[in-house]
Structure 1
Amino acid sequence: MTEPLSGRTIVVTRPRAQASRLADLIAGQGGEVVIFPLLEISPVADPGFLQAAVLGLDSCSLAIFISPNAVAFSMPVILGRRAWPAGLRAAAIGQSSVALLASYGIANTLAPTERFDSEALLELPELQRGSVAGRRVVIFRGNGGRELLAQTLRGRGAEVDYVTCYQRSAPTDAEPLRELWRSGQLDALTISSSEGLRNLVDLLDTPGRACLQSTPLFVPHQRIADLALALGLSRVILTGPADAGIMAALRAYHWR
């Protein structure tokens, strides 16, 4: 029996460290995978602020990890300098972050179970005003990003600090994608973040954007789909969340 993605070349655009599982799933369904990260992840240039913040964790009630990268770049520093504070609860947006925290011995992490975004995390009872007012919250993240979590939690009476533990940067060369388009071998892209999508559009010249316009984009969040449509892209497929949702949409798609 022919696999559902046989003969299809699909580009996975996650940061390289997070791309392998989805790539393996696509390959397991017969697809040819090209990994082309739209976000390059690296340590912060000056780790001094992160190291200092680690020493102040005893005064925090909640530590929020924005992504698996936030866990991967902060937890070795934290546990290399001290034990995890007994009174500090961890929270994460996605289940990959929860699993990675568990690998460092951090259990009972707060996280949404259906939608995996800041809005869903903010809906949890443990993040309502009655639970966070007057308490200190630390958010581990990369450079920049959305301000929704901090703004909402401050509005609910929490004291919130950001700790930048890694840097995100955009790729500078789109030639691997251009070559795939020239050879007619790029069937679809999976886009996992709005920032990554912006990086892709900025990276491409006019012919490249025309190729992107004709390429199916599989995105796991309405916010990314809305941005794609606002950027003039029309072949946008909104999938279910996480790898399972992306794979279901790839398998169900009526390929031309």
Structure 2
Amino acid sequence: MSVASRILVTRPGEGGERLAKALSEAGFAPARPALMHLQPLDVDEVKRTPLLDVDQYDVVVVTSPFAAECLVEWLDRYWPQLPQGPRFYALGVATAATLYRGLDIKASVPDPGLGTTSEALLAMRSLARLSGQRALVVGGVGGRQALAQTLEARGARATKLALYRRVYTAPDTTAADWLATGDFAAMTVTSGELLEHLVIWCGQAALNKPLIVSSQRLATLADTMGFASLHVAQGATPEALVTAVQEVGDT
């Protein structure tokens, strides 16, 4: 694999697979260091009340495709027929597609032109005023704190429901060498927690290589960690990230 075309894809799961496929189709050589995987919470770790009372929520926000997969499984247990009350929102089209495929739910998504970030979701007019409404934010352990806080600031009573955790692992010998020596053309990151994890193995050469992130918030975090060549994609979709990688290659 040519170093000039090697793009490190840090995103785990199906999202990482879709990005790697899109990069490959665009002529790059994606490499996926195993730094994290997603693990559903055990039955006794999940708060049941929001699932049993989902009909009492006005707004349900699902933050990722894996959160949607987990929610589909849980709602199948308790709701043979889904309630009509809640308005469902998804952070991106992949999350919305998972909800539609699993539960026939048509979730609202942010304007694709604004990307697939919490900020893009919160820019939706239907979420501007939520006085007296109940909102459920479905995601992983510890994620999307600011999203729930903003919904509360807009008048909602927000509840967070964690259905999975992120399990971080050390890179294997090959990936650790890439990160230590900067032996790659660029790297993509879509999670702040993952960025904080992988920076431990990044040598100075890696910190100087192009880092493509999915939001300005991540770029600000990366800057504080010493990454010197930051590029913000128009969201976390494979298309947006591939476009950003291509733009880096053209400069």
TM-score by length of 2: 0.87
Question: Are 1:31 and 2:31 an aligned pair?
Answer: no
Give the SS at the match of 1:100.
helix
Contact 2:180/2:203 (<8 A) preserved: no
Residue matched to 1:84: 82
Tell me the equivalent position of 1:133.
131
* Contact 1:90–1:106 (CA under 8 A) maintained in structure 2: no
Deviates more, 1:182-191 or 1:89-98: 182-191
1:139-158 aligned at under 5 Å gives the runs 139-158=137-156
CA gap 1:74/1:176 in 2 versus in 1, 3 angstroms? farther
Equivalent residue in structure 2 for 1:171, among 166, 169, 174: 169
Per the alignment, residue 184 of structure 2 pairs with 186
CA contact (8 A) 2:91 2:121 kept: yes
Deviating 4+ runs (over 4 angstroms): 181-185
Partner in structure 1 of residue 241 of structure 2: 246
> 1:209 deviation in Å?
2.4
Structure 2: tracts of 5 or more residues without a match: none
Code of the aligned partner of 1:235? S
Per-residue Cα deviation, 1:149-170 (whole angstroms, up to 9, x for no partner): 2222222222211111000122
Deviation for aligned residue 1:89: 1.3
> Distance between the aligned counterparts of 1:47 and 1:74, measured in 2?
15
1:120 positional shift: 2.0
The unaligned stretches of length 5 or more in structure 1 are none
Change (3 A) 1:57 1:254: closer
Distance 2:208 2:250 in 1: 13
Give the aligned CA root-mean-square deviation in angstroms: 2.4
- Answer with 1 or 2: which has the greater Rg: 1
What's the TM-score, normalizing by structure 1?
0.86
Provide the C-alpha distance between the structure 2 equivalents of 1:181 and 1:172, rounded to a whole number of angstroms. 12
Measured at CA, do residues 128 and 227 of structure 1 come closer, stay the same or move farther in structure 2, by a change above 3 Å? same
CA distance in 1, matches of 2:107, 2:195: 29
Task: Check whether the contact 1:64–1:139 (CA below 8 A) recurs between aligned residues.
Answer: yes
Question: Is residue 10–residue 186 contact of structure 1 (8 Å, CA) maintained in 2?
Answer: yes
Q: Identity rate of aligned residues, in percent?
A: 26
Would the alpha carbon gap of residues 28 and 228 (structure 1) be closer, same or farther in structure 2, given more than 3 Å must change?
A: same
| 1:119 match | 119
2:209 pairs, out of 215, 230, 238, with 215
Report the number of matched residues.
246
